[in-house]
Amino acid sequence: MIWIAGGLFGASLQMIAEYEVMSFDYDLLVIGAGSGGLAASKRAASYGAKVAIIEGDLVGGTCVIRGCVPKKLMVYASAFSQLYDNAVGYGWEKVEPKFDWGKMITAVDAEVRRLSQLHIGFLEKAGVELIRGLGQFVDPHTVAVGDRKISADKILIAVGGEAERINIPGIEYAITSREIFLLKEQPKRMAIIGGGYIAVEFACIMRGLGSDVNLIIRRDLVLRGFDEDIRTAVQEGMVKKGINIIPETLVRGIEKTPEGLKLTLSGDGEPLLVDAVLCATGRKPNVTGLELERVGVEVHKGANRQVGGAIAVTVDSCTNVPNIYAVGDCTDRVNLTPVAIAEGRAFADTVFGHQPRYISHHNVPSAVFTQPEAASVGMTEGEARAKYGDANIKIYRARFRPMFYSLTGADEKAMLKLIVLGETERVIGVHMVGKDAAEIIQGMAIPVVMGATKKDFDATTAIHPTVAEEFVTMR
């Protein structure tokens, strides 16, 4: 030990040494067993870290329990009604199908629980301990779960997001995307508040299953933030399916009556009488109750957030407290399951694998499982023109009826669009509305990320007859 006047420097070194040999219960403690938390915990454990993960709900998070998985199963269920109609044009006799809501909900719930148990098995196989309950910070290295206090060298927050409810009289009568999977009976008349991807997806699901659907949106088009051609094409397709879209309208209140739930609307709109109201106006980071202020973790509190906000992180997912990290929807960067998984793995690789890396949030493909389906990767036309100027942007677009519908008589259209930049015509945006859009755009994301040009697309031989071939034959 080095002694300097008064021994202060030596004492400081001794304190540091004592801190370094402090023992913790775990190397990593993860709060939240959703997509990001599961990915991070298993990857960290693979590097030899001692890991525990805290969860107060079913293991799997929003995606498995009340998001991507059960929703996509319901999308599949809702699509059969159109297949029955389309089959007639191909020579099949017309049938009168009957849908059993209870059977579908039971089957979906069983699959969700099966997947949740599967994830528990993966944790056990990886050597990650599952701690049941809700986590609450005590200090930067300690989290309480009930009466138990758990310490860790590193702590990862991966608590995801939760549905928000608008502040109007009677909102307690509305359900959110959490409760819709638990309804015992199918609403015959339904109102959905919101124009984002959750709202429009459930509007299409419920309509496909036979419910009368009213979609109430604040703007003139659904899917704010998506390319204008996608917004227009999806909305037109929804109207053709029989969804009643009420644009530029707010819900002022919900009243429970003997005849059903009555919605009072802004402007001159007539009140709506329905059996169920789905509030799908947005989601917020699920940070309430963590006691982040106790340990000084910085939170962005946006003007439109009533409670809590997004956890502020650096590119490597570290908060302002050096040993505390956060990934996924609670950081409100790009709120998609694959992004949360990638962030969680990158965190583990960096901190425990000593392979520093971080995730790019640019050119992330996304899909909306409406009917018709929509998907995109890269910049929208509006973003491209704003950043590079009209003179530097060229648009290639195709709109046509896919061959599948040529014998059905259905008024269905596909829309495919390329956005290219400058003299090199680098493809900076790919957008599609139509059957299998998500599957097709997943493949299109690769050339966009690699920086492919329009000439690269043109040099690619088409697969005929397909819808996707239009991407390599546009002129």
Q: Which residues are catalytic?
A: 464
- Residue 391: Cβ within 10 Å count: 8
- Based on its alpha-carbon atoms, the radius of gyration of the chain, rounded to whole angstroms, reads 25
Cα 229 to Cα 139, 235, 377, 381, 475: the distances in Å are: 50, 10, 14, 9, 18
What is the β-pairing status of strands 142-145 and 135-139?
A: antiparallel
3-state SS class at 459: coil
Amino acid letter, residue 191: A
Which helix (DSSP H) or strand (DSSP E) does residue 439 occupy?
A: helix 437-450
Distance CA 262, CA 271 (A): 6
The neighbouring-strand residues paired with 149 are 144
DSSP-derived letter for residue 164 is -
Cα 461 to Cα 132, 427, 433, 442: the distances in Å are: 54, 17, 22, 18
Which helix (DSSP H) or strand (DSSP E) does residue 283 occupy?
A: strand 283-285
Cβ contacts of 78 within 8 Å, gap of 6 or more: 204, 205, 206, 207, 208, 209, 371
Q: Are 53 and 123 in contact (CB under 8 A)?
A: yes
- Residue 434: Cβ within 10 Å count: 25
What letters, b where the CB count within 10 A reaches 16 and e where it falls short, cover 143-165?
A: bbbeeeebbbbbbbbbbbbbbbb
Distance CA 289, CA 272 (A): 37
